């Protein structure tokens, strides 16, 4: 009887084990099938994800830029206001001179044109889609355009900017607005680095030149900020890696998304270029971008 029961239990045990393994195998097959389907889709999905990441980063960059644009608009706005006050004052005091107004009013038009240019530039920048149009351009133009959005803010924050842009550089082929975004991102990081360093003399340098040996065009952006430690340097171009806090003290989203340098490296790659970082903690950082000539 005992032998019979043992035999029955052995058979049940065998059936259970068999059923369990069958279930595991079926689940694994199902999972594998799904994975294969996903893998077949992955190039398209990956591309969509990168585009989405770039879009997210652009919105973050635009948020940060709005403060810079406010500084840029401030001066022409104040000059226009002062001229209007002057003319109004002359009318009220009965000393209005048409000749003088003829000289002063074009200055208001100049200042308004300056403001319209900044706003139009911001519109082009925000509606730009990466790599949709490749053009032949001068990197110095992309740098000057970036400074037209962030230069006044840096100046008003007491940061000394040293520009050494070599004239007559060979043109490059690629996404010009994308490159402007790269420059803005690195400048914005540099600004944060010098401001957080607590140093009295805060400076950012940018220079362009042609490498003697490779004939590549080089953009160097240097700051005397906090510097970046080696463990951070190794991960700095990875997506979602950030040293900035994800949340601001008030609980709202913070400055850090960890996408800026990742997107910058993608844009540089699309130019056939490379980006390097040299940094020393407490001394500062230098980002070096190498780009092949495009024409």
Question: Binding residues for other proteins, per CB under 8 A?
Answer: 71, 74-75, 78-79, 81-83, 85-86, 89, 93, 95, 104, 107, 155-158, 200
What is the radius of gyration, based on Cα positions, of the chain? 29
Does the CA dihedral 165-169-174-177 come out positive or negative? positive
For residues 71 and 171, which CB has a smaller minimum distance to other proteins in the complex?
71
For residues 42 and 89, which CB has a smaller minimum distance to other proteins in the complex?
89
With residue 135 as reference, give the H or E element that holds it: strand 135-137
Q: How far is the CB of 98 from other proteins (least distance, A)?
A: 16
For residues 75 and 286, which CB has a smaller minimum distance to other proteins in the complex?
75
Q: How far is the CB of 208 from other proteins (least distance, A)?
A: 23
Would you put residue 251 in left (φ > 0), alpha (ψ -120 to 50) or beta?
left
Q: How far is the CB of 202 from other proteins (least distance, A)?
A: 9
For residues 76 and 273, which CB has a smaller minimum distance to other proteins in the complex?
76
Are residues 142 and 136 in contact, defined by beta-carbon separation less than 8 angstroms? no
Q: How far is the CB of 93 from other proteins (least distance, A)?
A: 7
For residues 7 and 158, which CB has a smaller minimum distance to other proteins in the complex?
158
Q: SS3 of 218, please?
A: strand
For residues 79 and 165, which CB has a smaller minimum distance to other proteins in the complex?
79
> What distance in Å separates the CA atoms of residue 205 and residue 83, rounded to the nearest whole number?
35
Q: How far is the CB of 158 from other proteins (least distance, A)?
A: 3
Q: How far is the CB of 200 from other proteins (least distance, A)?
A: 7
> What distance in Å separates the CA atoms of residue 66 and residue 133, rounded to the nearest whole number?
25
Q: 275, 238, 270, 274: which is closest to 257 by C-alpha?
A: 238
For residues 54 and 152, which CB has a smaller minimum distance to other proteins in the complex?
152
Length of the chain measured in residues? 295
Q: How far is the CB of 264 from other proteins (least distance, A)?
A: 27
Are residues 247 and 195 in contact, defined by beta-carbon separation less than 8 angstroms? no
For residues 111 and 242, which CB has a smaller minimum distance to other proteins in the complex?
111
Q: 165, 243, 155: which is closest to 202 by C-alpha?
A: 155
Instruction: List residues bridging with 173 in a β-sheet.
Output: 136
Q: SS3 of 108, please?
A: helix
Q: How far is the CB of 156 from other proteins (least distance, A)?
A: 5
Torsions phi, psi for 253 (to 5 deg): -55, 135
Alpha helices for 128-259 (secondary structure H):
139-156, 176-197, 230-235
């Amino acid at each position: 009887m005992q032998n019979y029961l043992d035999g029955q239990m052995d058979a049940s045990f065998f059936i259970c084990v068999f059923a369990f393994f069958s279930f595991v195998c079926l689940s694994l097959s199902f999972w594998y099938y799904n994975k294969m389907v996903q893998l077949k889709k992955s190039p398209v999905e990956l591309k969509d994800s990168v585009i989405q990441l770039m879009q997210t980063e652009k919105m973050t960059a635009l948020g940060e830029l709005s403060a810079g644009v406010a500084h840029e608009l401030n001066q022409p706005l104040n000059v226009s206001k002062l001229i209007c006050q002057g003319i109004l004052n002359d009318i009220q005091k009965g000393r209005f001179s048409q000749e003088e107004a003829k000289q002063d009013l074009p200055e208001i038009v100049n200042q308004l044109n300056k403001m319209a240019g900044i706003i139009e530039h911001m519109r082009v920048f925000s509606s730009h889609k990466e790599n949709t149009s490749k053009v032949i351009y001068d990197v110095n133009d992309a740098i000057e355009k970036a400074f037209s959005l962030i230069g006044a803010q840096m100046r008003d924050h007491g940061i000394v900017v040293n520009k050494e842009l070599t004239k007559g550089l060979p043109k490059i082929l690629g996404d010009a607005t994308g490159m402007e975004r790269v420059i803005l991102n690195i400048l914005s990081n540099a600004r944060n680095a010098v401001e957080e360093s607590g140093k009295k003399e805060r400076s950012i340098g940018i220079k362009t030149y042609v490498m003697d040996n490779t004939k590549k065009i080089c953009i160097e952006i240097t700051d005397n900020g906090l510097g970046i430690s080696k463990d951070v340097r190794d991960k700095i171009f990875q997506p979602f890696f950030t040293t900035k806090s994800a949340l601001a003290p008030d609980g709202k989203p913070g400055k850090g998304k960890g996408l800026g340098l990742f997107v910058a490296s993608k844009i540089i790659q699309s130019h056939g270029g490379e980006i390097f970082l040299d940094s020393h903690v407490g001394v500062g950082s230098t980002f070096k971008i190498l780009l092949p000539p495009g024409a």
